Structure 1
């Protein structure tokens, strides 16, 4: 085979790998509960991107702007699109969402009110849910310090994201984060720089901290034995936010960590290189 033809074929074979960005290779997991990384083109100003009417994280990688889109667990596989506003005007950008099957987990709780709350509990739960929903919907303009995150604690995973959960035989919301099996009192460190936007002691979550990393990229830590930060506090990457505990609806000490993008809870394992297809 002529030398020039061999070189051309080699270039064609390797082009897709070279065309993929680092962020795409690391974070693009377009399934329900996953993340879609979309190329937006070049330009001096960041485009505005919206998914399901909510603003999306946009970062610049070398010369190209990219949207990092959170995909809720409730999203149906198939064709989806974001809305893009830039110097050229407004347009839609399509992408495809694949499917993923999540396992089941059955948990027995001695406190039956944490499975079937009484009317007073429900009043409290609804009030707390509204407060936490507002935190998840926060959208600050700062660019996150890092998108590949540190583990908040060092330890084995005890429960993965998206697991269908049955408490005392009754199905409840899927698991919205990662659980790490670590002893009570273990320091919990923020996986990226950010600002504390909410703390509280909640019916289900126990002692809880929300950290805004920028542009709707938010970490939530709960079931803590102790909170070591205050609302409004600005944290460097690796700062301690609190200590592992078993407050709220928990069967024992562990570290529970949620990650949210554009108000969609997504699999934190994507950001620490531990995603399982």
Structure 2
């Protein structure tokens, strides 16, 4: 028969159990909160999907949408995938591929139809509508650089997915608008626009690392922040950037200031959020 536990050892063991249970409860509440707020499985939306019971694998499963890794998190019962749905996705279903060291499965995720509004914008600078041939190479190179940044997947889990607004300005253009510049159709609006005076501080919605900084033809002064596991924030049309590539930022830290650079009709912030290289509606992430 073993020796009886000392009071000190017993108290320590109870504390470990309490901390463990508290962690599980917080995790469960966190995933529940994310499902309630983020789950909007439409083109340009987010699908929060249970993919596997905790006991089915000894390690975290990996999930892929096409070639892109998907954010995976756990509560006390299940592993969940937080899937960004590309704007170009047709209603119906998409295949989420899930793998562990000893198993593979495909989960069909239902995508509902959703119709976004249109927006017509008049630009005085015609070169911002139809750039001259000598500018097209620059635009092509800049686009490749930004697409590579969006495709980044780092293993660290995001510090939070319920965001505060990056600024307190008025929302001037929502996500998903089919945009027409001087009557010519262009890609749908991939983020949120906030109208605010030039110089207004822009804050990071979560902890992260500065991934890329650039001064681009369309986006102007731009900063990309990697929040972890394929969650990327992009802020553009800035007048000033306070950081350098590789810098670590904390939630609420000022990363730049509102401007009117690039293709812009007035001072404002364009902010977008990317999940698994899909631009999704940032409004889904804003604290309610």
TM-score surpassing 0.5? yes
The counterpart of 1:118, out of the listed 127, 132, 137, is 132
1:255-270 to structure 2, matched below 5 A, reads: 255-270=269-284
CA–CA distance in structure 2, aligned partners of residues 273 and 29 of structure 1: 15
3-state secondary structure, aligned to 1:231: coil
Aligned to 1:203: 217
**Cα displacement string for residues 203-253 of structure 1 (whole angstroms, at most 9, x for unaligned residues):** 000000000000110000000000111000011111111000010000000
1:149-160 to structure 2, matched below 5 A, reads: 149-160=163-174
Do structure 1's residue 24 and structure 2's residue 16 form an aligned pair?
A: no
Aligned length: 256
Aligned to 1:36: 47
User: Structure 2: where are the runs of 5+ without partners?
Assistant: 1-28
RMSD of aligned Cα (Å) = 1.4
3-state secondary structure, aligned to 1:123: helix
The counterpart of 1:138, out of the listed 152, 158, 161, is 152
| Larger Rg over CA atoms | 2
Aligned to 2:261: 247
Aligned to 1:176: 190
CA–CA distance in structure 2, aligned partners of residues 115 and 228 of structure 1: 30
1:1-80 to structure 2, matched below 5 A, reads: 21-40=32-51, 41-43=53-55, 44-80=58-94
Report deviation, 1:176. 0.3
Aligned to 1:230: 244
CA–CA distance in structure 2, aligned partners of residues 147 and 117 of structure 1: 37
The counterpart of 2:98, out of the listed 52, 68, 84, is 84
CA–CA distance in structure 1, aligned partners of residues 200 and 34 of structure 2: 31
Aligned to 1:217: 231
Report deviation, 1:155. 2.1
CA–CA distance in structure 1, aligned partners of residues 93 and 211 of structure 2: 34
Aligned to 1:106: 120
Whether the 8 Å CA contact 2:164–2:287 is kept in 1: the answer is no
User: Structure 1: where are the runs of 5+ without partners?
Assistant: 1-17
Do structure 1's residue 163 and structure 2's residue 193 form an aligned pair?
A: no
3-state secondary structure, aligned to 1:92: strand
3-state secondary structure, aligned to 1:33: coil
Do structure 1's residue 127 and structure 2's residue 127 form an aligned pair?
A: no
3-state secondary structure, aligned to 1:126: helix
CA–CA distance in structure 2, aligned partners of residues 96 and 159 of structure 1: 28
Report deviation, 1:87. 4.9
CA–CA distance in structure 2, aligned partners of residues 182 and 72 of structure 1: 28
TM-score, L = length of structure 1: 0.90
CA–CA distance in structure 1, aligned partners of residues 76 and 257 of structure 2: 38
CA–CA distance in structure 1, aligned partners of residues 39 and 100 of structure 2: 23
